[in-house]
Amino acid sequence: MKLVVLGAAAGGGFPQWNCNCNQCRGVRAGQPGLTARTQSSVIVGGPHDWLLVNASPDILTQIQRTPALQPDRALRDSGIAAVLLADGQIDHTTGLFMLRERRSPLPLWCADPVHADLTQGNPILNVLGHFCGVARQPVPLDGTPFEVGLPNLRITALPIAGKPAPFSPRRECPVAGDNLGFTFEHTATGRRLFYAPGLAEITPPVWAAMQAADVVMVDGTFYTDDEMVRLGLSSKLGSQIGHLPQSGPGGMLAHLARLPATTRKLLIHINNTNPILDARSPERAACAAAGVEVSFDGLEIDL
């Protein structure tokens, strides 16, 4: 069983269509050390049938780059057997529209609050009802493991701190299930990967899930909390939009440093302003020194 990174960037991608920051300009210009990345999504399972975890606006590009997802068994076919959502954000859900040509309802696993947002604040699922429709399955939030019909794959969801999407009526009052981390377990080997592309806080249950995993792949959105503010791109801190920064005391790198050396550690959902995207930056060197990898599109992990 594998996990393949389809898109390692945060919402907006790298480069972002309207961004002229040094890094977005640099990657457009082919500056050494900078590599473009599409928006946040991974697949788990294989070799023929996969779980798509988050459906990014870049999904068509991602499918074109990933032969394992392309049709080869029937006139209409896809390697995407089911979809699982970590949250209801635009960068994790807009790609659902691109799957509308399916001939049967799309098996879709999401938590109740996300389902509410995707049928009310941003009624994507209602619109899809006019095309293939979805066969929605609720994600258990009490830690009960669940399966999605793929052999050897057992999943546990963990409600984590974060925010619901800006269009949610609950934007300022999050509830359990707005943001999920997932443990993907290969039942034949017992190996586990903890995946949380949006993570505002390392609470004791999150820390327990990280400690129990052989691989952790976590929120790499911002290096510093005020990154967007200092660049003049936003008035909001990373922590105000639900992302724990990597640097500083209590930052993601400090937490990852407390994990055993044998745990593989990766950052994902990386914003285009984050200096770790530059392979020549001191911030990337700090990640490397901490044994932390920066995910890229196409990265494959064996589970």
Residues that bind ligand MLT (CB under 6 A): 10-12, 89-91, 198, 241-242
- Quick one: what does residue 24 bind among Mn ion, ligand MLT, Zn ion, none, with the CB cut-off 5 to 8 Å set by partner type? Zn ion
Q: Is the peptide bond before 71 cis (omega within 30 degrees of 0)?
A: no
Task: Please tell me whether residue 293 binds Mn ion under the rule CB under 5 A.
Answer: no
Residue among 62, 59, 43, 55 at smallest CA distance from 90: 55
Minimal distance, residue 241 CB to ligand MLT, in Å:
5
> In whole angstroms, how close is the CB of 295 to Mn ion at the nearest point?
14
- Residue 242 makes contact with Mn ion by CB under 5 A: no
Q: Which of 6, 8, 24, 301 binds Zn ion (CB under 5 A)?
A: 24
Q: Which does 45 bind (CB under 5 to 8 A by kind): Mn ion, Zn ion, ligand MLT, none?
A: none
- Total binding residues for Mn ion by CB under 5 A? 3
Determine the longest span between alpha carbons in the chain, in angstroms: 54
The site partner of 155 among Zn ion, Mn ion, ligand MLT, none (C-beta below 5 to 8 Å per kind) is none
Q: Which is nearer to Mn ion, 39 or 183 (CB)?
A: 39
Cα dihedral: 235, 236, 237, 238 (round 10)? -130
Compute the half-sphere exposure of residue 280: CA atoms within 13 Å on the CB side of its CA.
8
Query: Between 10 and 63, whose beta carbon lies closer to Mn ion?
Result: 10
Alpha-carbon torsion angle 123, 125, 130, 133, nearest 10:
-170
The residue (of 19 and 270) whose beta carbon lies closer to Zn ion is: 19
The verdict on 270 binding Zn ion (CB under 5 A) reads no
Burial class (CB in 10 A: 0-12, 13-18, 19+), 141: middle
> Quick check: 9 and 37 in contact, CB under 8 A?
yes
Please give the Cα distance from 262 to 214 (Å, whole number): 8
# residues near Zn ion by CB under 5 A: 4
Q: Which does 4 bind (CB under 5 to 8 A by kind): Zn ion, ligand MLT, Mn ion, none?
A: none
Half-sphere exposure of 125 (CA within 13 A, CB side): 21
Q: Does 36 bind Zn ion (CB under 5 A)?
A: no
How long, in residues, is the chain?
303
Q: Are 273 and 266 within 8 A, CB to CB?
A: no
Q: Indicate the residue among 9 and 111 with the shorter CB distance to Zn ion.
A: 9
Q: Closer CB to Zn ion, residue 21 or residue 81?
A: 21
What residues make contact with Mn ion under the rule CB under 5 A? Answer: 11, 89, 91
What residues make contact with Zn ion under the rule CB under 5 A? Answer: 19, 21, 24, 272
